A and B are shown apart, each in its own frame.
Chain A
Amino acid sequence: MSESAPRQQDQPRTHGVLRLGKHAFPPGQPLIMAIVNRTPDSFFQPGMTWEEPAALERVHQVIAEGADIIDVGGIPAAPGSEVDVAEEIRRTAGFIAAIRSSYPDVVISVDTWRHETGRAACESGADLLNDSWGGSDERLAEVAAEFGAGLVCAHVGRQRPRTRPFRVAYADVMADVLAQTLRLTSRALAAGVQPDHIVLDPAHDFGKNTWHSLEVTRRLGELTETGWPVLVSLSNKDFVGETLNLPPEQRLPGTLAATAVCAWHGARIFRVHQVRESRQVVDMVAAIRGDRPPARAVRGLA
């Protein structure tokens, strides 16, 4: 089921700044995107930030812990009770406005595939449309272009929103990730999204079994080598759980191991539940890569 990448994308881009909101993030600066779900039924700590006061409290906390981006979602990835557009907007837009009024500069992302929700989020102050269902709604890119927002171009294979993979198979999963994300990139550019607003996401677990997600992690360098900024969303996911045979609440070490590998391969955005631990991992890997100096080096230098 491989798709061929459009020819104009064959040449890698130069790694450049990523512009989100008021920020221009240079390559080599890893960004932590903190997940704040406005759902009662997400897989990790379900309902924890369903109530708005708890969600705002989490925003304060994750910013204090070093989050660069707040990712607000109103619909769980897994199938379940229907959340229509009106309800999704009700869950997310007002909350985004509340974050924006408290934090004029923080990057705010909305996790949605629907252009109506994307529009409401941008009107409320969102800077990034995290389209984790791989361009299911073509008009989302138009909203990103209209508002000058960023857009995540994710690989989901042939999955429709809120569906689970069923016996998915790829001749070469990484080739499919490259082809689909670059095709979405071309579509975004054609819709008028600025190149320095575009992010690629291989979307671990989405349209993938655990073997596929491990392969994508192993070969993430092929995606970062395109020159486009790469987001990875690894946090406590099933590929970690199945690899280590652990339930969601025990997946942090495995998540951090995958985080370190992706950081080493040059991923730039890390969508996470546990901000403090993830911040330490990506900052440590950035220093190992030579992208970031130690915080304070004295040993042997006195």
Chain B
Amino acid sequence: MLSAAALCPAPPLLARELTGAAAVLPELRQACRDAADALVQASPDVVAVVGVAAETRTWDASARLDLSAYAPGIRAGATGSSQASGTAAGPGSSLPLPLGLGCRLLDEAGYDGSLDLQSVSESTTATECAALGARLAAAARRVGLLIMADGSARRSRRAPGYLDARSGTFDAEVGRAIRTGDMAALLALDPALARDLLATGRPAWQVLAGAMDGSRPDSVIRYEDDPFGVAYLVASMTVS
């Protein structure tokens, strides 16, 4: 059953090397590291990493984060930092970005245990997401869940998707649900509205809700802001 969960956003800029010389949003990265640390410290038997991608499927744990699609020509060490863990081109295929970023966070937190890597497609219904979450939570006695999910990308006129006035209410509701452990509210999120708002994290949040299996977790919000017009939420949740 689920013992702990961490929520992080999955923007490309979470990868430090993609922002160039400047450490853009170091406080966001720190919050994500803290969330990953807390998850690992809960001593899970397995960590399931969930992120939204083109298809719903599992991924081999040897697959790695590949940033070349976002930064062709980027050189290891070009930002002055050494090559970060989780970036090496392994023998396996490359992971969807949210899963790759999640694996990197776990690597950096020193986690070397079992991994379930699960992508979920944007077209997955709330019911299907909940069932997927329940299945992941049943994988071991102590399951940790790392949910890589973003809120609306239409939070301002300078946002990637320009302003949609409904985004404020939508993201506030997600934040409230996470903060108060109201998993039913996550399952009630409207997929069509989420799609309109470019809130790509909707299926992943609903996987989380399914994994909670009716329990009401305690939450700590570590970061909640939209500095580039995309709503980022970092949180840690524990199930007692």
Contacts and interface: CB of A to CB of B under 8 A. Distances in A.
A177 to B, nearest CB: 30
A301 B227 CA distance: 12
Contact of B19 (A290, A291, A297): A297
A294 B18 CA distance: 9
Nearest to A293: B20
A302 B11 contact: yes
A92 B21 CA distance: 37
B160 interface: yes
Interface string A283-296: 00000001111111
A259 B215 CA distance: 65
A53 interface: no
B24 interface: yes
Contacts of A291: 75, 78
B79 interface: yes
Interface string A225-247: 00000000000000000000000
A199 B95 CA distance: 45
A300 interface: yes
Contacts of B160: 300, 302
Interface in A258-302: 290-298, 300-302
Interface string B72-89: 011100110000000000
Contacts of B17: 293
B229 interface: yes
A146 B75 CA distance: 38
A301 B230 contact: no
Nearest to B153: A302
A293 B13 contact: no
A141 B35 CA distance: 60
Given A290-B73, A290-B78, A297 B11 contact: no
Contacts of B70: 301
Nearest to B228: A302
B13 A296 contact: no
B229 A296 contact: no
A296 B230 contact: no
B21 A302 contact: no
A298 B11 CA distance: 10
Which of B18, B74, B230 has the most C-beta atoms of chain A within 10 angstroms of its own C-beta? B18
B22 interface: yes
Given A292-B78, A302-B11, A302-B160, A297 B228 contact: no
Contact of B21 (A293, A298, A300): A293
B191 interface: no
Interface centre among B11, B20, B73, B229 (most CB of A within 10 A): B20
Contacts of A298: 13, 19, 24, 228
A302 B75 contact: no
A301 B12 CA distance: 5
B19 A301 contact: yes
Contacts of B24: 296-298
Among A295, A296, A297, chain B packs the most CB atoms within 10 A around the CB of A297
B19 A296 contact: yes
A294 to B, nearest CB: 4
A57 to B, nearest CB: 30
21 contacts: A290-B74, A290-B75, A291-B75, A291-B78, A293-B78, A294-B20, A296-B20, A296-B21, A296-B22, A296-B24, A297-B13, A297-B18, A300-B12, A300-B160, A301-B12, A301-B18, A302-B11, A302-B13, A302-B228, A302-B229, A302-B230
Interface of B: 11-13, 17-22, 24, 70, 73-75, 78-79, 153, 160, 227-230
Interface of A: 290-298, 300-302
